[in-house]
Structure 1
Amino acid sequence: MKAGRNKTIDLSVEEGNEYLKKCLMLDKKAELPDVLDKTILGDTFEVLRLLPKESVDLLIVDPPYNLDKDFHGNKFKKTSDEAYLEYTEKWVELVKPLLKADATVYVCCDWISSPSIFMVLKENFHVQNRITWQREKGRGALSNWKNGMEDIWFVTNSAKYTFNVEAVKMRRSVIAPYKVDGKPKDWEETENGNFRNTYPSNFWDDISIPYWSMSENTAHPTQKPEKLLAKLILASSNEGDVILDPFLGSGSTSVTAKKLGRHFIGIEQNVQYCIWAEKRLEMAEEDKTIQGYADGVFWERNTGRLQRKGRKRE
């Protein structure tokens, strides 16, 4: 039995079978309406060949990192840098024809995988930046520094691309407020404290990994937070755009896209993960909140109380 505050998604076999029926399996080339807002069950290296060309505005890729990992029966084995580079080239070759001319691509990776991924991306896209985010979860290391960082490569299909910087501002507490003529300069004075909405950098220290008391949490071993994906989606797409995730996992990209008014296409080979994705998509119809994102800005960690106060005033 779960504790009362444990919101981790847990389904019976019967419930799972019902959600599985909502998933799509492709065996022939598809038009965009056939796959829009769908969870596709299958091998991404086969499914990508069947998707419509030049239909994707934003590609978010969270491939298996180059380390040993068991994804509930689907095991990925650590290999050589050369072999992992070839693996990356394989999926890049398949996704590139699906992108619109002005599309953006984000690729998640760890420090081991990052060099190989970068080598492939720079040959196929315009490299814009590398985001590093603080991943505050996991066991400590006894003979090394604990790995608490991950990378996200930000690349574009051309020199023309979408970047909505005003949509991804960060709300930070003002420690030493500066005033001009007795009035706040570049910050806001509120009953809950002093705040400044700042432009985002490529280092993110405000991300919380999903845990048991968060409604987005599943048992997926490498689940990405909706807050992290919201930053990518808001910055690099507009409402109504099409977002593709070829390694969907438990559905975080699709769910966040739905909450933010975008279309999505997700591909996942693990049946259980597809079931979780469909359950979360159903939950998103009733609850469109994203932990850490409120009032049109992203908040620092441990500010949930302040966010709730703001919503009550509204």
Structure 2
Amino acid sequence: MNIATSAAPANAGSADAIALPTPTVAIIGAGTLYLGDCYEILPRLGWLPALVMDPPYAFNTSGGGSFREQRGHTDQIAAEGLDQGFDHSIINPLLCGSVVVFCHNDQVPELSAYLKGSFSRSALCMWIKTNPMPMANKHYVADGEIYFHAWNHGFHPQGELADKKRHVCSQVGRGSKFGHPTVKPDHVMNKIITNVSGSTICDPFMGTGSTGVAAVRAGRAFIGIEKNPIHFATACARLAAAQGLEPAGVPTLSPDQQGRPLSILTPAQGEPK
């Protein structure tokens, strides 16, 4: 069978141990996808070469003036709680070689300070939108999105000189066919995966799997975590399609499935520990 799903059992430690929720796991070719809370699951996965994430931004979704009706995605962002920011502790420099993280302009000062204090080097990069929404709302036109790439020794940016520009230009998708309000374009994610070091890429805020699609197409292994069951199912289908696997439909979430323990991932051969 091309796609296997199971419910991973919670920790079976002492009676004093805190019982963690049981995530559902979908193994799809080179991808391993977890349905659950990344703040609970990611620390249990051990060391990983690279994190690539588009976590919730922290910004005000009200307003919009006469363009509000054209910004339906903003309402969905608010409805899904994707405007509340994220806890920086999800990025642990002792458990990853590098991280790429998107953020809102207002998150830059705190996130920049956190990354500079945690990793050996960091760079501020940008996705430049070639077709931004024609509005400014007493601000600047939202024609770019910021992302940081931070790394420890041995996990510096990869690629040829032409790949190492600090920006990437791409159109914004209008009306995502994947049902998620902040899907990143393939071109943007392909550039980022090219720059990231390591044989395994993990996206703890997976959404509908754009990072995973770029990773497996580049010959990397992928680990994704998503708490929204609908987006999780979409990601499963996209990862299957990207690898030419037969679609298996929505993963079975039955709690009585035979469980599989969460593997403790270790660095691949030849990668720094």
Q: Work out whether the TM-score is over 0.5.
A: yes
Q: Gaps spanning 5+ residues in structure 2: where?
A: 13-21, 62-73, 246-273
**Alignment check: 8 A CA contact 1:164 1:234 kept:** yes
Distance 2:9 2:142 in 1: 38
Cα gap change, 1:138/1:218 in structure 2, threshold over 3 Å: closer, same or farther?
farther
Distance 2:40 2:189 in 1: 25
Q: 1:250 aligned to 167, 186, 208, which one?
A: 208
Paired residues for 1:75-154 under 5 Å: 75-78=81-84, 87-92=86-91, 95-99=92-96, 103-135=97-129, 136-138=131-133, 140-154=135-149
Q: Gaps spanning 5+ residues in structure 1: where?
A: 1-19, 79-83, 170-198, 288-314
**Alignment check: 8 A CA contact 2:157 2:164 kept:** no
Q: 1:202 aligned to 155, 166, 178, which one?
A: 166
Distance 1:26 1:39 in 2: 15
Q: 1:47 aligned to 41, 45, 49, which one?
A: 41
Q: Kindly indicate whether residue 51 of structure 2 is the aligned counterpart of residue 59 of structure 1.
A: yes
Deviation of the 1:114 alpha carbon:
1.6
Paired residues for 1:24-35 under 5 Å: 27-28=10-11
Deviation of the 1:163 alpha carbon:
3.1
Give secondary structure in 1 for the equivalent of 2:106: coil
- What's the CA shift string for 1:167-213, capped at 9, x where partnerless? x73xxxxxxxxxxxxxxxxxxxxxxxxxxxxx542132x2123346x
Letter in 1 for 2:108: S
Give secondary structure in 2 for the equivalent of 1:75: coil
Residue 80 of structure 2 corresponds to 74
- What's the CA shift string for 1:24-75, capped at 9, x where partnerless? 6563499xx9977211100111112321x22x11111211000246448532
**Alignment check: 8 A CA contact 1:249 1:268 kept:** yes
Give secondary structure in 2 for the equivalent of 1:249: coil
Distance 2:244 2:26 in 1: 25
- Higher share of residues assigned helix: 1
Residue 32 of structure 2 corresponds to 38
TM-score w.r.t. the length of structure 1 is 0.60
Distance 1:201 1:119 in 2: 22
Cα gap change, 1:25/1:97 in structure 2, threshold over 3 Å: closer, same or farther?
farther
- What's the CA shift string for 1:106-164, capped at 9, x where partnerless? 111121122221121111112331112213333523433221111111111x2322433
Give secondary structure in 2 for the equivalent of 1:286: coil
Residue 164 of structure 1 corresponds to 158
Paired residues for 1:215-226 under 5 Å: 217-226=177-186
Cα gap change, 1:115/1:28 in structure 2, threshold over 3 Å: closer, same or farther?
same
Residue 268 of structure 1 corresponds to 226
Cα gap change, 1:28/1:73 in structure 2, threshold over 3 Å: closer, same or farther?
farther
TM-score w.r.t. the length of structure 2 is 0.68
Cα gap change, 1:23/1:72 in structure 2, threshold over 3 Å: closer, same or farther?
farther
Deviation of the 1:22 alpha carbon:
3.8
**Alignment check: 8 A CA contact 1:134 1:148 kept:** yes
Aligned residues between the structures: 216
Distance 1:120 1:89 in 2: 8
Give secondary structure in 1 for the equivalent of 2:87: helix
Residue 172 of structure 1 corresponds to none
Distance 1:73 1:63 in 2: 15
Cα gap change, 1:246/1:139 in structure 2, threshold over 3 Å: closer, same or farther?
farther
Percent sequence identity over aligned pairs: 25
Give secondary structure in 2 for the equivalent of 1:232: helix
Distance 2:228 2:145 in 1: 24
Distance 1:225 1:155 in 2: 21
Distance 1:221 1:129 in 2: 26
Distance 2:109 2:189 in 1: 22
Residue 262 of structure 2 corresponds to none
Give secondary structure in 2 for the equivalent of 1:106: strand
Residue 235 of structure 2 corresponds to 277
Structure number, greater radius of gyration? 1
Distance 2:94 2:218 in 1: 26
